[in-house]
Amino acid sequence: MIQQESDAAIECSTTKPEAIIEPQETLTLPFTIKANGVGPLVSTASFHIAGSTESPLRLKLHCTGEGPVVSVSQEHLDWGLSPMRESSVFTVHPFAGVIPARKKLSLTVTAELDDAIQFTDKLTITIIGGISYTVTLSAEGKGTTIVSAPSMHSSVNMGTHFACSQVRKQFTLTNRGRRSQDKKSKSREHLRLLD
């Protein structure tokens, strides 16, 4: 019969709690252990032999308790050259959650960039009662942080107007980036009139 303390770090049980060992016979005693914690664990199980006046046989048990077994599908996420946006953070959704046994949880990581530079960060995924995983995040902004209202295209239609009259159209330029930007304008000095 196996005996342990009620708060043992490792629980031990057997499918043969009692057996008779005949003279000159060997008994194979299969037993199962259950880790009651995470990390290196040590416990003692005592085997009592009926009718024996000697101390019980003591077996020192060692095991490493492991938390939930979780893996990440990618250890590095690289967006490459990405259009710039208003903010410059990597975000993850959902931020927290529960993964049922033998199921998956998909995380959506979003990169919103505000400059034409390289962005890097680390995403740490912590499993309660388990280990943590770190995923490297990187993206490089492309394009400009200058936004025009109304939008500027390669051509601007100024509409129909009387000849020799001045026409004006105003554009508002906003720098949504983290650095100052220089603005330079070019216009043709001579316009060619087509008949």
> d(Cα 11, Cα 34) in Å, to the nearest integer?
5
**The pLDDT value given to residue 140:** 85
Kindly give, in sequence order, each residue whose CB lies less than 8 Å from that of residue 30, ignoring residues fewer than 6 positions away: 14, 15, 16
Domain boundary, last residue among 118, 142, 166: 142
- Side chain identity at 154, as an amino acid letter? S
**The pLDDT value given to residue 193:** 46
**The pLDDT value given to residue 85:** 55
Is 189 part of any domain?
Answer: no
**The pLDDT value given to residue 194:** 44
Between the CA of residue 60 and those of 10, 12, 56, what are the distances in Å? 10, 11, 13
| DSSP class of 6 | T
**The pLDDT value given to residue 43:** 84
Query: Cβ(16)–Cβ(32) under 8 Å?
Result: no
**The pLDDT value given to residue 195:** 40
Domain that holds residue 116: 76-142
Which residues of the chain fall short of a pLDDT of 70?
1-6, 77, 79-88, 153-155, 183-195
Is 112 part of any domain?
Answer: yes
Q: How many domains does the chain have?
A: 2
pLDDT digits (tens, 9 = 90+) for 158-180: 777 777 778 777 878 888 777 77
Q: Which two tokens stand for residue 61?
A: 């048990």
> d(Cα 80, Cα 64) in Å, to the nearest integer?
41
Domain boundary, last residue among 142, 161, 181: 142
Is 195 part of any domain?
Answer: no
**The pLDDT value given to residue 191:** 45
Between the CA of residue 80 and those of 22, 85, 92, what are the distances in Å? 73, 15, 18
